[in-house]
Structure 1
Amino acid sequence: MHADRTNRTILLILALVLVAAGGLGGAASFGVFGSGFQRRSLTDNVVADYVGRNGSWLWPVVAVVALVLVLLCLRWLLVILFSTDRTGDLVVSAEGPGRTILLSDAVTRAVTEEIESYSGVSSAGARVIGDPDDFELVVTATVENSADLSAVRQRIETEALAHARAALDDPGLPIQLDLTVTTARSARVS
């Protein structure tokens, strides 16, 4: 379960329910549901009358529904707090009698340090996302506005990303490269 997708879905459902309630209230005020409903006072306590007549079975049902909602909210919070799309250890070579395992942090650290050493790059970051069998490398770099952006991009693609693909023994490794331009100058001496 992806937390962002879940948040959007729940908020969309809540918005649709609220829009529908507002629409029904507006329709009732125009007499769509009959003139008796239109003349009814907003402060009529229809709910209290209903609860008073059906309280013997209504309160246990309300308690069960509330418990289910609490459990769903708790699950939602746990997914938001502890979910990650990052992958664990990467199996580089499964051929032969043994296999080579590479820590994803080692790959991301190496890519980040190499890109940060390039002239014109202020900062960089990388992460490996997806399943250990089907992963993707996401690289971000902040480039100084005085640097030649196309040259920096070309160098990142032909050197750092090529080195990552070679280290992971996957020439077709999907890589997402995001470049941001900043006006701040790097404090490093290149």
Structure 2
Amino acid sequence: MHADRTNRAVLILAALVLMAGGAGVVVLSTGLFATGATGRAISDNVVSGAYVEHGAWLWPVTVAVALVVLLLAVRWLIAILFSTDRVSDHRVPGDGSHGTTTLAAGALAAALGAEIEGYEGVQSTGVRLIGDASAPRLVLDVTLAADADPDAVRNRIETDAVAHARTAMDQPELPAVIDLSVGRRSSDRVH
């Protein structure tokens, strides 16, 4: 979730800078504050003059700065597109005298998903462990049948499935987020 906030902050900052630059160009082109800028060419300015006069060293510096910006942008895109906040494996706490126990997050998710999908009124589930491996959080996305009782399903998930996950991970205080949504179909099961 922190990546979303960081992305929003960076994009808002970039948008503000670009809007301020665009507003400055509009103000200069209309002659609102300076009448001398309306008849001049875009290349007729101090920056263009500096590049003409000091181009031997200014162009390489500009290219180097552009490459740094490009590398930062590529790193940002890779982090957004290919990173995940999912936990891959969870090391079950213990004294370690007889070795360590590692619980694969995918196995836990598959087991919990199968268990929850067996509950009355549940159509589908999505289960994942997110956050830091030392302090994960359990996220359950559950789609209910149109005629399901959301309170009963939520209570059963909390008392059974989440309790089973906490026991398997040996984390009695494992935080769990349960997102319930109602599907369009009614339950296929006969009550």
Q: Is the structural similarity TM-score above 0.5?
A: yes
Query: SS state of the match for residue 125, structure 1?
Result: strand
Residue 68 in 1 paired to residue 92 in 2?
A: no
Instruction: Give me the whole-angstrom Cα distance separating, in 1, the residues matched to 2:55 and 2:188.
Output: 70
Q: In 2, are the aligned partners of 1:2 and 1:83 still within 8 Å (CA)?
A: no
State the 1:106 CA deviation.
1.6
List per-residue Cα deviations over 1:123-174 (Å, max 9, x = no partner). Answer: 0011011122111101110001211111111111111111111222222110
Matches within 5 A, 1:144-183: 144-183=145-184
Range with greater deviation from structure 2 (174-183 or 20-29): 20-29
State the 1:10 CA deviation.
2.8
List per-residue Cα deviations over 1:24-72 (Å, max 9, x = no partner). Answer: 234433533x3333x444x342254443233222211111112112211
Q: What is the aligned partner in structure 2 of residue 85 from structure 1?
A: 85
Residue 101 in 1 paired to residue 102 in 2?
A: yes
Instruction: Give me the whole-angstrom Cα distance separating, in 1, the residues matched to 2:141 and 2:63.
Output: 48
Q: Which runs of 5+ in 1 are unaligned?
A: none
Q: In 1, are the aligned partners of 2:122 and 2:142 still within 8 Å (CA)?
A: yes
Instruction: Give me the whole-angstrom Cα distance separating, in 2, the residues matched to 1:90 and 1:174.
Output: 14
Q: In 1, are the aligned partners of 2:140 and 2:177 still within 8 Å (CA)?
A: yes
Instruction: Give me the whole-angstrom Cα distance separating, in 1, the residues matched to 2:2 and 2:75.
Output: 12
Q: In 2, are the aligned partners of 1:136 and 1:175 still within 8 Å (CA)?
A: yes
Q: In 2, are the aligned partners of 1:120 and 1:147 still within 8 Å (CA)?
A: yes
Letter in 2 for 1:45: S
Name the TM-score, length of structure 1 as normaliser. Answer: 0.86
Name the TM-score, length of structure 2 as normaliser. Answer: 0.85
Q: In 2, are the aligned partners of 1:122 and 1:185 still within 8 Å (CA)?
A: no
Q: In 1, are the aligned partners of 2:146 and 2:187 still within 8 Å (CA)?
A: no
Residue 58 in 1 paired to residue 58 in 2?
A: yes
Aligned length: 187
Range with greater deviation from structure 2 (137-146 or 79-88): 79-88
Query: Given the superposition, is the C-alpha separation of residues 71 and 189 from structure 1 closer, same or farther in structure 2, using an over 3 Å criterion?
Result: farther
Letter in 2 for 1:111: L
Query: SS state of the match for residue 88, structure 2?
Result: coil
Q: Which runs of 5+ in 2 are unaligned?
A: none
In percent, how many aligned pairs have the same letter?
A: 45
